Structure 1
């Protein structure tokens, strides 16, 4: 029977996407693993691969269509047992009507059904449905396919599902546990259209901008934030950075202050494990490693690629990884497992001259560190007034999971590591 190709959920936060480009046309034969389309999600533009063999009989959604809900049928494929020629025509989304005739009511069949991804296996199907590429990756990485739910057509497990299981695992339990709470939260009232005679242009929100607006609104409404600020002297760290860069120059590595602060936050979370947590309803997840999400500004908004296990990596490795991730983030080429998860975040606006700010927590994480600019200030050094390079750092903590005293302990440890930075290279 004909196979329905549905808009996939390419990330846990994706509810709709933009079909940016078709890579096939009607009449093309496709095999499992072939690229079918480029889909713009809330975070990146990703390639969508085929999981079945057959002939493309109908493309039901045009290139450039945005707001396509997850689960909407976007194309039809004729399988081996089907006749590819007489594919049923889908009713057009917006039929043209003569000016004199009233528009006919849309037929029921034209309404796309929004369906949740089907389970991988059922009592009537004992074989796990998965694409060959997904099977190969799962075998290489020892991932049990029977424990995964597929987001491909007919519940088929695809490459994304396996990669998400490998890379997004730390955040998944918290997200799942918090889902009932999020569902129960009242939906915000729609914003009324603004009427104004001020000259303006209407700018359409990107999928990323919509997701940022929704998630940060939910965070401020549902997460009780507590803010703790410390002033940190940077002179010793700047001196060590200069010395390290002189020795790393031959390797093409140049450390930034932010690279060193990422390592300092990671080590602080390991030393104060009560802050390396996520709130998950009736439970908390306490992590044994520090995966640091680093806020990166991109043309369409903000994304947070993750330095996994930053507490155990060298400064040069962190610097190289952040540079590579930030570059691909700005190109929209990050894979879901590279920006989903993380145990805490860091946002640095010091290079923009911002003295101090309070960042919004990125759920389900329990904290985020906001870094201000380093500047020359009067400072007490060895009981005498002197001039020192000082920055303000503010931690935002989820007070459901982290008490003020524990947050204060984390900020104290972070300050000590930055002011005595040899601990970053020990």
Structure 2
């Protein structure tokens, strides 16, 4: 029997994904561990590996397909002892099983609704010759599922080939679904039909305002990937549901920069080069050890206080912001943190992070100092209860031993979930962080 290859759940929260790219084609031989496809999840674009050996006899879901539910069969694999042609026929791809093109076009995305037990489909009633003919129903406008226009897969492929914007096509299928005939009849660049529906007084109903505004300037519409959609949703929820409190301290960096130079000189033979960010990760972890009441998360009627300092570090990846985690950073040495962080950042930029490498974390660190940003307030990454935002180190006038001098200073701002962390506790964490940075020997012992 052929083996169905199903859409995998690449993270605990994944319910659907985008089949971004196939790296195999029908007829290709694959072995366990071979990369078959790239799948865009709600977190990142990840590689999908084969777990069995055999021949790809049919690709069921074309690349670029969005909203593929976990468990959906995306391809069929014939085993080593199977005939590929027989396996392909057994997979249900025979012509005798295909419904008509138009009905298949509509049924691929719209499963029939279950009817109550005992309910049968009634035949249409006979009408007398004197009965007035029923007025044809106006097709409904395409309904959006979230941000997605409802259209059949075949209609989407034809629209892509013709360069059509599906939002400008009026659907004639069930519930306004766009089907093959609609996109074949549409012309590229044609605006959607105006709504001529009338209100109860017979006057034309006012046109609905567009979802967005072009502000009167030329623009290019860029479709959001799954990662960007999740970022938008989570950050909106965070600002709407978490009462943020912000606390800022100015930190002197001179001692930390001096220690970093000395450590790098001694670690050069081992191929390790510490960054300022590596030391700040350690400083945040040690500060959380000293002020454990900030290493928490708000859980409704409970407060979880964590026994380990897992620091999520914000990294800019091509698909969007992602936060790989340095697990148990409070107990790790600086060289280990540096090596691990370089590996995680590299995998993040290549879209190869595994779920356990970016899901979780008890607190976050975001550093925009390399871009010259002096100070900023970061949004908490729920269910965490705090995030540390650090800016650039710069020469500033500073009082040193009672006299005005020049020091390398950095502004650090902690964002705290005020449901879980009181202001005084947040202030104690910020003070502990400042002390550890200004007296950095505490980071190496």
Q: With the length of structure 1 as denominator, give the TM-score of the two structures.
A: 0.72
Deviation of 1:4 after TM superposition, in Å, equals 5.0
| Matched-pair contact (CA < 8 Å) for 1:39–1:48 | yes
Give the direction of change, closer, same or farther, for the CA distance of 1:266–1:90 in structure 2 (3 Å limit): farther
What is the RMSD of the two structures over their aligned residues, measured on CA atoms?
A: 3.1
Choose the corresponding residue for 1:231, options 243, 247, 250.
250
| CA distance, structure 1, for counterparts of residue 25 and residue 366 of structure 2 | 43
Distance 1:105 1:322, change over 3 A: closer
Task: Identify the structure with bigger relative contact order (alpha carbons < 8 Å, sequence gap 6+).
Answer: 1
Conserved in 1, the CA contact under 8 Å of 2:2 and 2:90?
A: no
Cα distance in 2 for partners of 1:421, 1:68 equals: 50
Give the alignment partner of residue 281 of structure 1, picking from 281, 300, 317: 300
The within-5 A match list for 1:186-205 is: 192-205=211-224
Q: What's the counterpart of residue 145 of structure 1?
A: none
Give yes or no for the alignment of 1:413 onto 2:412: no
Distance 2:319 2:70 in 1: 21
Aligned length: 342
Matches within 5 A, 1:89-108: 89=93, 106=105, 108=107
Taking a change above 3 Å as real, the CA distance of residues 191 and 291 of structure 1, as seen in their structure-2 partners, is: farther
Counterparts of 1:50-69 in structure 2, within 5 Å, are 50=50, 58-69=58-69
The equivalent of 1:348 in structure 2 is: 367
Q: Any conservation in 2 of the 1:73–1:112 contact (CA below 8 Å)?
A: no
* Equivalent pair of 1:90/1:110 in contact (CA under 8 Å): no
Contact in 2 for aligned 1:72/1:112 (Cα 8 Å): no
TM-score, normalising length: structure 2: 0.69
Secondary structure, aligned partner of 1:386: strand
Structure 1 residue 25 displacement after superposition: 4.2
**Residue of structure 2 equivalent to 1:128:** none
**Offset at 1:227?**
0.7
| Counterpart Cα distance in 1 of 2:219 and 2:416 | 38
1:46 aligns with 2:50: no
Alignment of 1:25-424 (within 5 A): 25-26=25-26, 35-50=35-50, 58-76=58-76, 84=87, 85-89=89-93, 106=105, 108=107, 110-111=109-110, 192-424=211-443
| Alpha-carbon contact 1:60-1:90 (below 8 Å) kept | no
CA distance in 2, matches of 1:372, 1:192: 36
Secondary structure of 1:414's aligned partner: helix
- Distance (Å, rounded) in 1 between the aligned partners of 2:246 and 2:390: 13
Report the 3-state secondary structure (helix = DSSP H, G, I; strand = E; otherwise coil) of the residue aligned with 2:259.
helix
Deviations 1:120-152 (A, max 9, x none): xxxxxxxxxxxxxxxxxxxxxxxxxxxxxxxxx
Unmatched 5+ residue regions in structure 2? 113-208
Larger radius of gyration: 2
Gap change, CA 1:105 and 1:88, over 3 Å in 2:
closer
Following the alignment from structure 1 to structure 2, what is the Cα–Cα distance between the partners of residues 400 and 309?
25
Deviation at 1:78, TM superposition (A): 7.0
The 1:25/1:300 distance shift into structure 2, 3 A limit, reads closer
Alignment deviations for residues 78-107 of structure 1 (CA, whole Å, 9 cap, x no partner): 78999622432399xxx998xxxxx66855
Question: Could you tell me which residue of structure 2 aligns to residue 7 of structure 1?
Answer: 7
**Deviation per CA, 1:345-374, whole angstroms, max 9, x where unpaired?**
100111111111000111111110000111
Aligned to 2:171: none
3-state SS of 1:415 partner = helix
CA contact (8 A) 1:279 1:285 kept: yes
Cα distance in structure 2, aligned partners of 1:284 and 1:375: 38
Q: Kindly state the Cα deviation for residue 12 of structure 1 after the two structures are TM-superposed.
A: 3.2
Residues 45-70 of structure 1, C-alpha deviations (whole Å, 9 max, x = no match): 32324567877554221123234343
Secondary structure of the residue aligned to 2:374 is coil
Matches of 1:87 and 1:253, distance apart in 2: 53
What secondary structure does 2:93 align onto? coil
Deviation at 1:44, TM superposition (A): 3.0
How far apart are the structure 2 equivalents of 1:325 and 1:3? 34
The DSSP-based 3-state class of the residue aligned with 2:257 is helix
CA shift for structure 1 position 379: 1.7
Asked if the contact 1:355/1:391 (under 8 Å) is kept, the reply is yes
Q: Distance in 2 between matches of 1:288 and 1:191?
A: 50
